[in-house]
């Protein structure tokens, strides 16, 4: 068994947790971090139990694209990327796409990911229309 | 937060407005209880008699949408009774006299019929806040999800500066962020009006700094979320890329959102599950969860903390940063990020408040920004000695209260306010798939006052229909005396009772946050 320290991914408290993982990768449970500056060894119900969705059978495990009848089918990353890039390029109107392409990012993602999203919007898509759920 | 979570435990007074802290931030609430054990006082303003009110020394049963009137009345009382910290005002702030004049008529008697809080209660709140040495304000969406959001927060800033409750331990203005990285995603500027580090696109220094690292890029003020949906409706916006968000359930006026997403020519959604929003996508990219990747989150007290990859990505899913890196490359950008710590190096370079925060430094304990260099210990308390404004002075502002936004009517006589329950999270994409959490609250409900329920002939657990000018939904009645009369509460986690089918498009004029906390509705027994 491994015990890895990380930060709970739910609310803004940012509690310290250890995730207990079996050698075969099975998630066994959470141990609170007793020295953590915020949580001091305590957790709420989401902190204790909130990891249970990770291997839910409904997780998306491959990219999806639409069939002509409107249903989804699984595809490869390469195919999905080609379609994404083509779709964005088709929506580009010129030098700046602030009115034609929008991006919504997430307060669920890391700082590094949000930074890349800001860069992706403004540099790759050339749009300044990027927002996220802190507006709500 | 201007201060830290730990400091709550040493406060003399905690003023909680629009925050159901025990349910939404349990580990902040434990610090409130720690302070109470040491003799602190707790004052709560909320339309629901939330759990905290059982321990409160003062309680204001405030009508949703009227926070600003109450705060201005508190400021009025403090000035009228000479309880302000004149030394702090003189030495550290500007524009006091203009602000003072603006609240001259905001007597508690003026506020009472607006807020439904007795004038004497407002006086008690004002006196206790002003005369406590270490007084902290805690707030959340109960203050922000209103058309008066910006003004209410500026009024809270007035209140704190007026009494010198800022820049010292266990004081300050402390928003509790609802999601793990609301603070960080704002800091990293997935926002239309900033570049990372709250740098305005129109500042020459911003262009100078970012163009050196990024070359040419779009450096305008873009559109906020609601404006994007309007642009789609007008046929101008042709493509959208939504990462880790579920606007079909979380955004106001669901019918409008769905109409726009159906109309949008090209939609890419990146998420863990096929969310209600992903149902409208052309392409769905499978993302990895927070247990399957590395990186950092910034918590509500500005503490940048590591998350660590605990298991390999599930299936062929990929962490968002890897997807973005690979997409950037395919869009022709010359980038090749090998790790999240390499991305943080670029953040260090471009975001002055994060300049000294590296992954290496936060292996044991997170660091609070601003952290301007790699030897800096971080900043637990903001505005010590001087304010983080040009000139270093705090600025008093004028925040007049007017009746605006959604109003009740004969047709829609109830105010619906929305929120969360402790065991669920947002649109339930994750928590509704955790059986131990889901069993606690498996479906939506309508909290309604016992007197209103009696008048309408509603019985406990009966299905009721709630209707607004935008739409109609059903949920189970939960009859209680812990909510104001003529006010109902519904959680927004449940797709079967999607409260945002009812909410409207009234926005704060400055920051455009929707007024999710006030919707005029009628309620009846479902036939």
- Determine the pLDDT at residue A133: 80
Q: Are residues A48 and A77 in the same domain?
A: no
Residue B233, classified by CB atoms within 10 Å of its CB into exposed (0-12), middle (13-18) or buried (19+), is middle
pLDDT in tens, chain B (527 residues): 999 999 999 999 999 999 999 999 999 999 999 999 999 999 999 999 999 999 999 999 999 999 999 999 999 999 999 999 999 999 999 999 999 999 999 999 999 999 999 999 999 999 999 999 999 999 999 999 999 999 999 999 999 999 999 999 999 999 999 899 999 999 999 999 999 999 999 999 999 999 999 999 999 999 999 999 999 999 999 999 999 999 999 999 999 999 999 999 999 999 999 999 999 999 999 999 999 999 999 999 999 999 999 999 999 999 999 999 999 999 999 999 999 999 999 999 999 999 999 999 999 999 999 999 999 999 999 999 999 888 999 999 999 999 888 999 999 999 999 999 999 988 888 999 999 999 999 999 999 999 999 999 999 999 999 999 999 999 999 999 999 999 999 999 999 999 999 999 899 999 999 999 999 999 999 98
Cβ–Cβ below 8 Å for A54 and B314 = yes
Tell whether B118 lies on the interface with A, counting CB pairs under 8 A: no
Residue A5's H or E segment, with its range, is strand A2-7
- The pLDDT, as a whole number, for residue B250 is 92
Same domain, A32 and A47: yes
Instruction: Classify each residue of A74-108 as buried b or exposed e, where b means 16 or more C-beta atoms within 10 Å of its C-beta.
Output: bbeeeebbebbbebbeebbeeebbbbbbbbbbbbb
Residues of chain A with pLDDT under 70: none
* Phi, psi torsion values for B154, nearest 5 degrees: -65, -35
User: What φ, ψ does residue B283 adopt, rounded to 5°?
Assistant: -135, 135
The Cα B196–Cα A122 span in angstroms is: 11
pTM, entire model: 0.96
The distance of B54 to chain A (nearest Cα, Å) reads 20
- A107 in reach of chain B (CB within 8 A): yes
- Residues B61, B67, B73, B77, Cα dihedral to 10°: 70
**H or E segment and range at residue B415:** strand B414-419
Residues A79 and A107 in one domain: no
Q: How wide is the angle at C-alpha B412 spanned by C-alphas B408 and B415, nearest 5°?
A: 55
Element of type H or E holding B467:
strand B463-467
Which residues of chain A are within 8 Å of residue B317 when distances are taken between CB atoms? 59-61
Q: Could you give the 3-state DSSP secondary structure of residue B464?
A: strand
Residues A111, A75: one domain? no
A38 lies in the same domain as A9: yes
CATH topology assigned to domain B182-368: Rossmann fold (3.40.50)
Interatomic CA distance for residues B313 and B317, integer angstroms: 6
Instruction: Give the chain A residue whose CA is nearest to the CA of B350.
Output: A115
pLDDT of residue A57: 95
Task: Give residue B9's pLDDT.
Answer: 98
CB half-sphere exposure, A56, CA atoms < 13 A: 20
Distance from C-alpha of A133 to C-alpha of A109, rounded to nearest angstrom: 11
Residue range(s) in chain B whose domain bears CATH number 3.40.50.740: 182-368
pLDDT at A136: 75
Q: Are A12 and A34 found together in one domain? A: yes
Q: Tell me the C-alpha to C-alpha distance, in Å, between residue B327 and each of A125, B56, B241, B295, B322.
A: 11, 52, 12, 19, 8
Q: What is the CA radius of gyration of chain A?
A: 20
> A75 lies in which domain range?
60-91
CB B164 within 8 A of CB B201: no
Residues 28-47 of chain A whose Cβ lies under 8 A from any Cβ of chain B: 37-40, 42-47
- Is-contact A16 A41, C-beta < 8 A? no
User: CB under 8 Å to B322, separation ≥6 — which residues?
Assistant: none
Question: What residues pair up with B372 in beta bridges, in sequence order?
Answer: none
Scanning B355-449, the segments in alpha helix (DSSP H) are 435-438
Q: Is A22 exposed, middle or buried, given 0-12, 13-18 or 19+ CB atoms closer than 10 A?
A: exposed
Domains: count for chain A? 3
Q: A127 vs B218: CB contact, 8 Å cut-off?
A: yes
Q: Could you tell me the two tokens for B123?
A: 């006086």
Considering only CB atoms, which chain A residues are within 8 Å of B298? 14, 111
Domain B414-525 CATH (choose: 2.40.160.40, 2.60.40.420, 2.40.128.720, 2.40.40.20): 2.40.40.20
| ipTM for this model | 0.98
Which single residue is written with the structure tokens 């707790």? B42
Domain match, A73 and A99 both: no
Residues A99 and A83 in one domain: no
Residues A24 and A46 in one domain: yes
Q: Is B145–A136 a contact, with Cβ atoms under 8 angstroms apart? A: yes
What lies within 8 Å, CB to CB, of A90 at 6+ separation is B238, B239, B266
Contact: B190, A5; criterion CB under 8 Å: no
End-to-end CA distance of chain B: 47
Does the domain at B5-175 match CATH 3.40.228.10? Answer given as yes
Cα separation of A16 and B365, whole Å? 10
CA distance B172 to B98: 22
Judging contacts by C-beta atoms under 8 Å, the chain B residues touching residue A25 are: 311-312
| CATH 2.40.40.20 intervals, chain B | 414-525
Which residues are CB-contacts of A13 (< 8 A; sequence separation ≥ 6)? A38, A39, B5, B25, B26, B27, B28, B176, B299, B300
Which chain B residues touch A96 with a CB distance below 8 Å? Answer: 218, 220
Q: Which of A64, A86, A109 is nearest to B330 (CA)?
A: A86
Q: What contacts A33, CB < 8 A, 6 or more positions away? A: A5, A15, A16, A17, A18, A39, A41
B458 token code pair = 């509603």
CB B29 within 8 A of CB B56: no
Query: In chain A, positions 66-105, which contact chain B (CB-CB < 8 Å)?
Result: 66, 72, 77, 80-85, 87-88, 90-91, 93, 96-105
Q: Return the structure tokens found at B363.
A: 């292996």
Predicted confidence at residue B323, as pLDDT, reads 98
What pLDDT is attached to residue B366?
97
Q: Give the distance from residue A1's alpha carbon to the nearest chain B alpha carbon, in angstroms.
A: 12
**Mutating which of B9, B178, B180 best tests the A interface, going by the most A Cβ atoms within 10 A?**
B180
* Cα–Cα distance for residue pair B263/B441, rounded to 1 Å: 34
Question: B326 CB near a chain A CB, below 8 Å?
Answer: yes
First CA to last CA distance, chain A: 41
């Amino acid at each position: 068994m491994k015990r890895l320290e990380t930060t709970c991914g739910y609310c803004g408290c940012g509690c310290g947790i250890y995730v207990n993982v079996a050698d075969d990768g099975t998630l066994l449970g959470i141990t609170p971090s007793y020295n953590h500056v915020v949580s001091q060894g305590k957790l709420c119900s989401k902190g204790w139990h909130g990891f249970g969705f990770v291997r839910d059978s409904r997780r998306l495990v491959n990219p999806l694209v639409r069939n002509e009848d409107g249903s989804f089918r699984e595809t490869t990353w390469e195919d999905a990327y080609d379609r994404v890039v083509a779709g964005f390029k088709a929506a580009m109107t010129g030098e700046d796409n602030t009115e034609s392409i929008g991006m919504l990012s997430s307060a669920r993602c890391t700082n590094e990911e949000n930074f890349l999203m800001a860069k992706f919007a403004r540099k790759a898509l050339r749009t300044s229309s990027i927002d996220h759920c802190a507006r709500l | 937060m201007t201060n830290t979570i730990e400091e709550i435990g040493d406060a003399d007074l905690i003023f909680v407005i629009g925050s159901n802290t025990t349910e939404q931030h349990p580990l902040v609430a434990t610090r409130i209880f720690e302070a109470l054990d040491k003799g602190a006082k707790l004052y709560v303003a909320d339309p629901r008699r939330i759990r905290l009110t059982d321990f409160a020394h003062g309680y204001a049963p405030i009508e949703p949408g009227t926070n600003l009137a109450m705060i201005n009345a508190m400021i009025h009382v403090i000035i009228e009774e000479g309880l302000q910290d004149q030394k702090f005002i003189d030495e550290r702030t500007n524009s006091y006299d203009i602000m003072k004049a603006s609240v001259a008529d905001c007597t508690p008697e003026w506020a009472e019929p607006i807020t439904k809080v007795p004038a004497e209660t407002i006086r008690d709140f004002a006196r206790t806040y002003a005369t406590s040495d270490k007084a902290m304000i805690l707030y959340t969406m109960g203050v922000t999800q209103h058309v008066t959001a910006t003004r209410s927060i500026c009024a809270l800033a007035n209140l704190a500066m007026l009494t010198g409750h800022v820049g010292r331990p266990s004081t300050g203005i402390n928003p509790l962020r609802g999601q793990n990285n609301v603070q960080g995603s704002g800091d990293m500027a997935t926002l239309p009006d900033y570049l990372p580090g709250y740098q305005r696109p129109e500042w020459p220094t911003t262009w100078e700094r970012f163009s050196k690292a990024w070359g040419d890029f779009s450096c305008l003020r873009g559109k906020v979320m609601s404006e994007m949906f309007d642009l789609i409706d007008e046929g101008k916006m042709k493509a959208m890329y939504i990462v880790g968000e579920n606007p079909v359930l979380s955004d106001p006026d669901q019918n409008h959102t769905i109409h726009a997403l159906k109309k949008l020519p090209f939609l890419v959604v990146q998420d863990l599950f096929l969310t209600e929003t992903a149902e409208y996508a052309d392409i769905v990219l499978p993302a990895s969860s927070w247990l399957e990747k590395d990186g950092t989150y910034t918590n509500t007290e500005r503490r940048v903390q590591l998350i660590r990859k605990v298991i390999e990505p599930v299936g062929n899913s990929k962490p968002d940063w890897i997807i973005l890196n690979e997409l950037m490359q395919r869009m022709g950008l010359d980038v090749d990020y090998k790790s999240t710590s390499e991305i943080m190096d670029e953040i260090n370079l471009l975001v002055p408040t994060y300049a000294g925060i590296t992954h290496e430094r936060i292996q044991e304990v997170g660091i609070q920004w601003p952290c301007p260099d790699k030897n800096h210990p971080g900043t637990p308390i903001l505005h010590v000695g001087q304010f983080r404004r040009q000139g270093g002075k705090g600025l008093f502002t004028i925040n007049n209260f007017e009746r605006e936004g959604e109003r009740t009517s004969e047709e829609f006589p109830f105010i619906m306010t929305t929120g969360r329950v402790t065991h669920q999270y947002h649109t339930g994409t994750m928590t509704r798939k955790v059986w131990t959490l889901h069993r606690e609250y498996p479906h939506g409900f309508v909290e309604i006052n016992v007197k209103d329920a009696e008048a309408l002939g509603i019985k406990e657990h009966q299905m009721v229909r709630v209707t607004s000018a935008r739409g109609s939904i059903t949920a189970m009645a939960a009859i209680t005396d812990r909510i104001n009369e003529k006010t109902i509460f519904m959680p927004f986690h449940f797709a079967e009772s999607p409260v945002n089918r009812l909410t409207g498009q009234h926005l704060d004029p400055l920051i455009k946050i929707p007024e999710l906390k006030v919707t005029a509705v009628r309620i009846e027994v479902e036939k």
